[in-house]
Amino acid sequence: MRDGHLPVMVEEVMTMLAAAPGSLQIDATLGGGGHAERILEASDPDGRLLGLDADGTAIARVRARLAPRFGDRLRLRQANFRELAGVAPAEGFGAVDGCLFDLGLSSFQLADADRGFGFRTGGPLDMRFDTSRGVPAGELLATLDAIELAALFRKYGEEPFAGRIARAIGEARRVAPIRTAEELAALVERVAPARAPGRRRVHPATRVFQALRIAVNEELEALETGLAAALNLLRPGGRLVVLSYHSLEDRIVKRFFQAERRGCVCPPEAPVCICGRVPRLRLVTSRGLVPGEAEIVANPRARSARLRAAERIAA
């Protein structure tokens, strides 16, 4: 544990990435830098790593901690991984041996009281990874009508009480705007049953916060773009490793891997292939890996993690 940050499933990630001395690796979601540090250690003495994060504070924090130790072996860029196709070649990473996506939030973001990512930490309802662009979560709550909010909570949070919560938000904001994470969490807690079927032992506002964060940062669209870019950057034998934390992310990753493993997208009734697509990935994990009990006890944030890995084949 360094600086209060525990990288999730780090041993499994390292096994799947198989980073070797001299290799070029990309950490597309730098976060606290825990995975990046291990990758740089494994690729010693001459491997290099490009770290991306949309959050400028993450870049600054990791630069201060790791740059003195790894020097020019570490390249850092503030960028969303949807920009990977342009950023990586510009930084000298046009053909790489591995790429890691650790999706979701870092511990530092959850603890940031200025951006409202977590209902326990609180703060203004911003939720943007990059605070210089995009629409804050509070603005979505203020401008979308109840029908639009309910659709958002269903689509990105799979929230069973989306309609009830959206109507309550509409009624509440007639009196006063919902400005903070604490206010939103308290409202959801009042109107949504805590122990409803399928909720597990999580705060009733968890899915609503997830939905707003995904919408604000356009996370699912960015993931599809980022995965496609990463595959194009991989050399034959290069590994693509993804840690996801909810079913929406994992479904996108799983379908992407399956499609690139299959190649041809012609309908079954077609007598011959006319699409010309060939398989580009071999699955390294046939099913997603999950953390062990010991890790979940040591790092509760890991409990919902699922790891998938695939290897680029010549195509």
Domain ranges within the chain, ordered by starting residue: 10-108+219-312, 112-217
**Average model confidence (pLDDT) for the chain?**
91
Summarize the chain as % helix, strand, coil (round to 5): 45, 15, 40
Helix crossing, 162-175 with 146-157: angle to 10°? Answer: 140
Cis upstream peptide for 45 (omega within 30°): yes
3-state secondary structure of 75: strand
**Is 4 a residue whose pLDDT tops 60?**
no
**Beta-carbon contacts of residue 128 (< 8 Å; ≥ 6 apart):** 115, 134, 136, 137, 216, 217
Band of pLDDT at residue 265, cut at 50, 70 and 90: confident
Whole-number Å distance between alpha carbons of 111 and 257: 33
The answer to whether 311 touches 235, Cβ cutoff 8 Å, is: no
Nearest to 248 by CA among 178, 157, 313: 157
Task: Establish whether domains 10-108+219-312 and 112-217 are of one fold.
Answer: no
Whole-number Å distance between alpha carbons of 103 and 101: 6
Element (H, E) at 101: strand 96-102
The answer to whether 72 touches 47, Cβ cutoff 8 Å, is: no
3-state secondary structure of 282: strand
For residue range 67-90, list pLDDT tens digits in order: 999 999 999 999 999 999 999 999
Nearest to 162 by CA among 121, 192, 124: 192
- Compute φ and ψ for 205, nearest 5 degrees: -85, 0
For residue range 214-264, list pLDDT tens digits in order: 999 999 999 999 999 999 999 999 999 999 999 999 999 999 999 999 988
The answer to whether 13 touches 29, Cβ cutoff 8 Å, is: no
The CATH architecture of the domain made up of 10-108+219-312 is 3-Layer(aba) Sandwich (3.40)
For residue range 77-132, list pLDDT tens digits in order: 999 999 999 999 999 999 999 999 999 766 555 656 566 677 666 788 999 988 88
The answer to whether 137 touches 217, Cβ cutoff 8 Å, is: no
Quote the percentage of the chain above a pLDDT of 90.
Answer: 77
- Alpha helices, H only, 176-245: 181-191, 206-217, 219-233
Residue that the structure tokens 């590994």 belong to? 239
Nearest to 213 by CA among 304, 125, 83: 125
Residue 186, Cβ density class (10 Å: 0-12 exposed, 13-18 middle, ≥19 buried):
middle
Whole-number Å distance between alpha carbons of 190 and 194: 9
Q: How far is Cα of residue 105 from the mean position of the Cα atoms in its chain? A: 7
CATH class of 112-217: mainly alpha
- Compute φ and ψ for 231, nearest 5 degrees: -60, -40
Strand order across the beta sheet in which 281-283 lies: 74-78, 48-53, 24-27, 96-102, 234-244, 306-312, 281-283
Q: Residue 201: its pLDDT value, please?
A: 64
Whole-number Å distance between alpha carbons of 198 and 174: 31
